[in-house]
């Protein structure tokens, strides 16, 4: 049996219909269904489970995150660490992220925020973009499943791309920087900085004034990692001073972003409501069903969370 906690109870019929197609033998129940027999739950598909609930399932064999980032699951102090935790990274997820990053980078290059504000005022604000997107080097912090696909798609647009990760990568057309020792050299060459890092203790608060000071003046920022990585007042101050020229921010510490937050109305920021990449339920069900089937054959589970690394 699979217990689901993702998308609200109203999403259960869709989950059940998708799993009926991809894993016909699998019973799918809502996590807090009063009739759920906890001893029968072998798999859980969750986004932000109630702390302690996963630990209360005595026959749990694998936990599937409903997203690629599983920080809202690992935040549970009672998380059963010996049960494998699978991040949700189907091809549709990386594709959607790549599309979002390309859109965000092009929106910064073509000053989409400026045009939206002018349209709202019915103002014919004719201007010439000062550069083309392929004249601006994009640096991606985090070259994992998401960052690598985004890098490939940007390269496909003819945009120069670099990446920074803990370990060095070899991706055609992408300059790889690795580790803390190479971070500042990487930042110094980023005309647009994309953050695709996971939420860990090391990445908490990294998008702040000291990092922005390392970027070329007038750099753009695309933040799609997690809200705990940014200091919003520092982003606004860097935009006001011209150190940053524009930002696209998809993730926030408090979601939904409170209506009174000044980020909403800043002329340099495009706010998006944590939509960069969420694969359809059908695609996620297909991914989970395939993983359960492979697990049943004794094969390894994909995209496992590593407790020692924290991502
Ligand atoms: P991933 O495959 O685990 O990749 C993480 C990348 O970050 C790896 O390249 C890793 O380096 C690098 N990294 C981690 N800690 C680092 C550090 N301290 N210094 C330098 N590099 C570090 O994760 P993913 O699937 O690409 O997803 C990344 C994150 O994107 C998720 O955790 C989530 O927060 C976010 N996300 C957001 C959305 C959205 O809709 N906004 C959707 C999906 C994901 P190594 O390769 O060397 O290990
Ligand atoms: C979404 O934020 C995800 O981690 O998949």
Which residue among 226, 266, 281, 286 is the active-site one? 226
Instruction: Give the tens place of pLDDT for each residue, 98-141.
Output: 999 999 999 999 999 999 999 999 999 999 999 999 999 999 99
C-alpha span between 50 and 54 (Å, rounded): 8
Active site residue 226: yes
Q: State whether 289 and 258 are in the same domain.
A: no
Q: Is residue 121 part of a domain?
A: yes
Tell me, what CATH number does 60's domain have? 3.40.50.720
Instruction: Give the tens place of pLDDT for each residue, 205-260.
Output: 999 999 999 999 999 999 999 999 999 999 999 999 999 999 999 999 999 999 99
Q: Is residue 160 part of a domain?
A: yes
How far is ligand 1, taken at its centre, from the CA of residue 24, in Å?
A: 33
- Would you place residue 78 in the very low, low, confident or very high pLDDT band (cuts 50, 70, 90)? very high
- The closest ligand to the CA of 100 turns out to be 1
Q: State whether 207 and 82 are in the same domain.
A: no
Q: Specify the number of domains making up the chain.
A: 2
Specify the DSSP element, H or E, that contains 237.
Answer: helix 232-241
Is the bond into 256 cis (omega within 30 degrees of 0)?
Answer: yes
Active site residue 149: no
Q: State whether 124 and 180 are in the same domain.
A: yes
How far is ligand 1, taken at its centre, from the CA of residue 118, in Å?
A: 35
Residue 283 structural domain: 2-90+279-296
Instruction: Give the tens place of pLDDT for each residue, 51-61.
Output: 999 999 999 99
Percent of the chain with pLDDT over 70: 100
Which amino acids bring their CB within 6 angstroms of ligand 2?
67-69
**In this structure, are strands 2-5 and 161-165 parallel, antiparallel, or unpaired?**
unpaired
Q: State whether 68 and 104 are in the same domain.
A: no
Residue 15, burial from CB neighbour count under 10 angstroms (0-12, 13-18, 19+): buried
Instruction: Give the tens place of pLDDT for each residue, 245-275.
Output: 999 999 999 999 999 999 999 999 999 999 9
Q: Which residues contact 155 (CB under 8 A, 6 or more apart)?
A: 161, 172, 173, 174
Q: State whether 42 and 143 are in the same domain.
A: no
Q: Is residue 305 part of a domain?
A: no
């Amino acid at each position: 049996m699979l217990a689901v906690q993702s998308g609200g109870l109203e999403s259960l019929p869709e989950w059940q219909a998708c799993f009926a197609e991809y894993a016909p033998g699998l019973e799918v129940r809502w996590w807090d269904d009063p009739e759920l027999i906890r001893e029968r739950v072998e798999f859980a598909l969750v986004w932000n489970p109630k702390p302690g609930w996963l630990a209360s399932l005595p026959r749990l064999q694998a936990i599937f995150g409903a997203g690629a980032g599983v920080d809202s699951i690992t935040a549970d102090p009672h998380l059963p660490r010996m049960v494998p935790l699978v991040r949700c990274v189907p091809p549709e997820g990386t594709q959607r992220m790549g599309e979002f990053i390309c859109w965000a980078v092009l929106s910064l290059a073509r000053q989409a925020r400026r045009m939206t504000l002018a349209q709202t005022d019915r103002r014919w604000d004719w201007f010439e973009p000062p550069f083309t997107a392929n004249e601006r080097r994009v640096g991606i912090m985090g070259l994992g499943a998401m960052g690598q696909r985004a890098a490939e798609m940007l390269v496909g647009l003819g945009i120069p791309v670099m990446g920074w990760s803990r370990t060095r990568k070899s991706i055609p057309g992408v300059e790889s920087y690795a580790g803390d020792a190479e971070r500042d050299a990487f930042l110094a060459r980023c005309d647009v900085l994309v953050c695709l890092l996971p939420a860990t203790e090391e990445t908490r608060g990294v998008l702040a004034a000291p990092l922005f000071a390392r970027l070329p003046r007038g750099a753009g920022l695309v933040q799609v990692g997690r809200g705990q990585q940014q200091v919003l007042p520092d982003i606004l101050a860097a935009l006001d001073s011209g150190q940053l020229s524009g930002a696209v921010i998809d993730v926030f510490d408090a979601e939904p972003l409170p209506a009174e937050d000044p980020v909403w109305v800043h002329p340099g920021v495009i706010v998006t409501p944590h939509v960069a990449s969420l694969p359809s339920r059908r695609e996620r069900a297909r991914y989970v069903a395939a993983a359960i089937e492979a697990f049943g054959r004794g094969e390894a589970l994909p995209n496992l969370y590593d407790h020692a690394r924290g991502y």
